[in-house]
Chain A
Amino acid sequence: MNAITVDHIVKTYGSKKQVLTALDDISFEVKKGELFGIIGPDGAGKTSLFRILTTLLLAEGGTATVDGYDVVKDYKQIRKSVGYMPGKFSLYQDLSVEENLEFFATIFNTSIDQNYDLIKDIYVQIEPFKKRRAGKLSGGMKQKLALCCALIHKPSVLFLDEPTTGVDAVSRKEFWDMLKDLKKQGITILVSTPYMDEAAMCDRVALIQSGKIMSIETPENIVKEFEGELWAVRSADMYRLLNDLKQYKYTESCNSFGEYHHLLLTKNQGGKEGVLKYLNELSHKNILLEHTAPNIEDRFMQLMKNT
């Protein structure tokens, strides 16, 4: 059985004069026990989708189920069985770490002891501060507490809306390690992120932009779907190189990627020799040009261009 089904969901905001389509006919399914990523920039529709699935927002069209329950008819069932960590910190700032956890356990008719196994590895990291008010915690600790509170009733499906936004690279890696451990315990996880590199940590991902899903695949297959041969290029003057490559007659696209630019030629016309000749004519120095494997951002930008 699927843990989540989303079938032609539509959500719009605004008045008749100015309609903003947040979700434009979205469909996908998440299998039980899957770690599924919704990857896309701010404003793509990620939060609207999460709020519809957690029964906090009504869609205009389409249907969706979580754990087999309909998000409109059976909203009470869903609220009992899912865990939700919103993008914005939503715990009680004036309650202590311990009190917050106890509160969430109580409203779900359970106790901290009953499901302690599930949160143990995460909770021990914040336990030294259990008497501290949640509002006084550091960002990383708040995030861990919020995750504990979302897990304390042993949810069947966990919804995490941008848990790593604004978090540094080290803490992001730690957070994903925690998710992998939770997955082992059989919890289905739907997680959203604007960081494309995090797609690699998911079983499958949906790439979303302007309310539309552009692709649903495993992270390995998403990069395999990249169309064309990709070149990595560098030279002594990277900024001039970028502008010159964009002007090249056979250039389909050229984007900066750290210390290289990624260049795609229309049907690979002219090949490596053509590019080298062009750059030499413009007297670029220390040119390096080699094949490279596309990454998820390459594919995301290609899809953005094609849709």
Chain B
Amino acid sequence: MTRTDVDTPTPSPAPRERRRFGSSGLGLGFVIKLVLVALVDALGVYGLLAAYAVGHWGIITTLAIGLVVVNWVYFSRKAIPAKYLVPGLAFLLVYQLFVMLYTGYVSFTNYGDGHNSTKSDAISAILLQNDRRVEGSPTLPMAVVQKGDELGFAVIEEDGQVWVGTADQPLEAAPDAVVQDGRITEVPGWDVLSYAQVIERQADVLELRVPVSDDPNQGAVRTQNGTSAFASRSIYTYDADADTMTNTDTGAVYRPNDQGVFVSDDGAQLTPGWRVAVGFDNYVAMVTGSDLSAYFFQVLAWTFAFAILSVGTTFALGLFLAVVFNDERIKGRRAYRSLLILPYAFPGFLAALVWRGMLNQKFGFINEALLGGANIPWLSDPWLAKLSVIGVNLWLGFPYMFLVATGALQGLPGDVMESARMDGASPARIFRSITLPLVLVATAPLLIASFAFNFNNFALIYMLTGGGPNFPDATVPIGATDILITMVYATAFEGGARDYGLASAMAIVIFIFVGVISWAGFRRTRSLEEI
């Protein structure tokens, strides 16, 4: 992005003439630039400090590189195109590219239901979930005590005797403790914490387990409110050195495996597991795993059909209406245009919901009011459902194309049209030979964008048909109107366990797929325009 060719205005040392434009050396523009870059720098430096404070090295690196690039670009006399590209590209890199890369990373992990967090989270969840009140254990009044930094519990036994202990020190009698009105007020050698102090250290207090005795089977004293205690016992114990979970009832030992879960020698697993990298497992599962592959090509074919037909129909109708209303003699042109834009003014998912109701076979407005009580299964017949999806998308999408085409028509060179008309060319011929090619040049990239949008048009399918009607024999919840992205959603999120790893892998595959195809299409459109 550094080399500029002859097109760019090379700053000439001695401009010959300055009729309309003054020097830009230190003018208003420069001041604005200076202020803006200074602002960015200030924010960047603040960010660097803040990121350093929380130890976010990824953000520090990104920010540092970003700041260098911004300052270089805007204070260099070269790199003129970069001055125009940097703001947009910065947002793009952070919010799009990073998201893509991160999705790529997730696709190589088993992130999903049952593997939701880190290993240490999983260990504490397993210990907590299996930490049960020892059956029949009484609730005893207690106080939280402290010696130096170490927390401990002081418990009043039923006989009035006070016992004190810490995580490492099982309960011991403290005969000199003072109890007033059922509350422990003083324990020699310990500071009794006030309630406010307990709240300050509440996480530690609730995590603390004070063994009842040296025998671990008798459980440990814990509290849930800082004022009363009971004995509880976790069925599992974690040995940090050996990295194993042991079931204290059966003695079974569970070891972590490479799938991010503790598993015993006989194959029993403990939930939850944790996130680990699983290599290409998700990609392999896509091909071999379920019966997904059996329906993949069917869904793929429909996805293409849907995307192409959506672009085709909306563009055709939009351009047609734009041409029709591109005549100054039409009275009320403005009103027509305003009304035609209305479907676009409604949030798309809402429109899909409304259409869903209107297309109800028996009670829908279309069948009952418009077609006089017809019984057409608009959404439950596989082919009609496809037709309905295209029809609703046409309604949703043509105003967009109408707008774009209207704008494009304004940009057509009037003189060319005029001379063609003078030469006696018919309107149809003018349209075919001049209007359409020129409009296509302006909108071709847009049509590809629209293709991409519809290829991934999740909201419409999800809200209108939910992918249904389902293939009755399919062993995966996939239906006749499912496109790739709703299929991924259904299999990765709705078929029971949510599997972000698998979903990400599928997203990457879809991306590569549609990317290659669009890229090929894009190269072909080069015949229509010069890049």
Q: Does chain A bind chain B?
A: no
Chain B residues in the interface with A (C-beta under 8 A): none
